[in-house]
Amino acid sequence: MPTAPEPSISAKDKRPTKAQLSWLARGRDEPGGKLPLFTPAGQRVNDRMVKSCLAHGWAEPWFENPLKPNWLVCKLTDAGRAVLADANAD
């Protein structure tokens, strides 16, 4: 299983962008918190955004995709659910 980078202390305090919130929210109701590889418009999700969410601890790698090994299949973490709850409370 791939490993996610450890979130830094300062990263835990950072607020997600609208794009990050939108992507994370799409995993909230999916089985296991699976995050999408594609946008609703059918475009591939931005790798930099995914890696940023991984670095903040809001998402984590789930498993290797044997058909597309360079694609990160991720799932929502408890920290990701917490930032979504905080964003909805604002």
**pLDDT tens-place string over residues 44-90:** 999 999 999 999 999 999 988 788 888 889 999 999 999 999 988 87
**What is the domain count for the chain?**
1
Domain membership flag for residue 65: yes
Residues spanned by the domain of 57: 9-89
CA angle 49, 17, 74 (to 5 degrees): 40
Domain membership flag for residue 1: no
Neighbours of 45 (CB within 10 A): 19
Domain membership flag for residue 57: yes
What is the model's pTM? 0.80
Domain membership flag for residue 4: no
